[in-house]
Amino acid sequence: MAGAAGQVSFSQFGEDMLVSQLLPQAHGFYVDAGAHDPWRYSNTALLHLRGWRGINIDADDRAIARFNDARPGDINLHCGVGSEAGEMSFARFADGAVNSFDTEIAAQQTSAFGAPEVVRVRIEPLGAIMAQHLPAGVRVDYLNIDCEGLDFEVLQGHDWERFAPAVLTVELHGLNLATPEQNQAYRFLRDRGYLFRAHYFCTSIFHLISAL
């Protein structure tokens, strides 16, 4: 997908074009929860090509194998992300873009993508993952959350005191742009000092006010 002035976008809806403008520095660190693929529908690929590095997390081991091949300098982790540690059933489709921990979402996708393989996957809170894997002295500049059905739980399981990113993208399905305050994830992030910057189909972009 080509953007302004011929710049290439890797995101599904062009989210990375705005993220790149909000984070113009040549080097930085991203965390991608529900990373899916190093290039396809990736909100971090454009940053990676600019010299950024980061942590990529996905519950699908096939996705992590692709990241190990394409981004060997990144930290690539096979697990799910949620509000607390444990284990959950995970619907893994042939097209990993529609994988989900949510049984209702998985049932909806089955008619279009075929029956998934259901596997048990380890779940870890995002804050605990960062505490264990974030390199010493490194701050998180950008956080992407795309965890089909667990997005709000991921927000709840993060340590916002220690690891607040400057820019955040998260899927907010059903967000009403006329009344965004009715969305619990919107209120959650607003109360933690984030400014709502844009919404791309189902992805919302937030900016930490203190980082503006």
Instruction: Give the model confidence (pLDDT) of 113-167 as tens digits.
Output: 999 999 999 999 999 999 999 999 999 999 999 997 789 999 999 999 999 999 9
pLDDT score, position 89: 96
Residue 21 forms part of a structural domain: yes
pLDDT score, position 82: 94
State the pLDDT confidence band at 76, using cuts at 50, 70 and 90: very high
The answer to whether residues 122 and 101 touch, using CB atoms and an 8 Å cutoff, is: no
Residue 159: CB partners within 8 Å, gap ≥ 6?
A: 126, 127, 128, 130, 131
Domain count across the chain: 1
Q: With 50 as the cut, is the pLDDT of residue 2 above it?
A: no
Instruction: Give the model confidence (pLDDT) of 13-43 as tens digits.
Output: 999 999 999 999 999 999 999 999 999 999 9
Residue 169: CB partners within 8 Å, gap ≥ 6?
A: 15, 19, 43, 142, 143, 144, 145, 146, 203, 204, 205, 206
Residue 39 forms part of a structural domain: yes
Average of per-residue pLDDT across 167-196: 95
pLDDT score, position 212: 87
Average per-residue pLDDT for the chain: 94
| Rounded Cα–Cα distance for residues 124 and 198 (Å) | 28
Residue 146 forms part of a structural domain: yes
Residue 142 forms part of a structural domain: yes
Distance of CA 31 to CAs 77, 103, 129, Å? 11, 26, 10
pLDDT score, position 6: 54
| CATH code: domain of residue 201 | 3.40.50.150
Residue 114 forms part of a structural domain: no
Instruction: Read off the tokens for 97.
Output: 């873009």
Residue 2 forms part of a structural domain: no
Domain containing 76: what range?
Answer: 16-82+119-211
| Rounded Cα–Cα distance for residues 10 and 8 (Å) | 7
Residue 7 forms part of a structural domain: no
For residue 85, what is the DSSP state?
A: S
Instruction: Give the model confidence (pLDDT) of 190-204 as tens digits.
Output: 999 999 999 999 999
| Rounded Cα–Cα distance for residues 95 and 116 (Å) | 9
- With b meaning 16 or more CB within 10 Å and e meaning fewer, what string describes 32-48? bbbbbbbeebbbbbbbb
Q: With 70 as the cut, is the pLDDT of residue 5 above it?
A: no
Residue 1 forms part of a structural domain: no
| Rounded Cα–Cα distance for residues 80 and 90 (Å) | 9
